[in-house]
Amino acid sequence: MITIDVAEYCSSCMDFDPDVQRPQKAYGMSEEIAISDTVIRCSNRNRCKNIERYLRKKVTNDGVGKTDEAMP
Ligand code: SF4
């Protein structure tokens, strides 16, 4: 199976850079017992996840920063 693993905020991004994780085979007693999926992800995913985490910490639900400053 081939799966695409991207975040919701990736849907209209123009910087998508495919990073393909090839299927892995697992063997038991020299016999093939499982093959993992092929997974397509973005090579920038860790950077963007950290940016999302940072922004979520900075912004409250009403769009005002935790320091009561309006976010730009
Ligand atoms: S991880 Fe970042 S760079 Fe990659 S598609 Fe998503 S938003 Fe764009």
Which residue's CA is the nearest one to ligand 1's atom 1?
45
Query: Whole-prediction pTM value?
Result: 0.73
Ligand 1 near 48 CB (within 6 A): yes
With a cut of 60, say whether residue 55 has pLDDT above it.
yes
The Cα diameter of the chain in Å comes to 62
For the CA atoms of 31, 34, 40, 43, the dihedral, rounded to the nearest 10 degrees, stands at -70
Amino acid identity of 25? K
Kindly provide the b/e burial profile for residues 40-50, where b requires at least 16 CB atoms within 10 angstroms of the residue's own CB: ebbeebeebee
Residues 6+ apart with CB under 8 A from 32: 25, 26
Confidence of residue 62 (pLDDT cuts 50, 70, 90): low
pLDDT tens string 4-40: 999 999 999 999 999 999 999 888 887 878 899 999 9
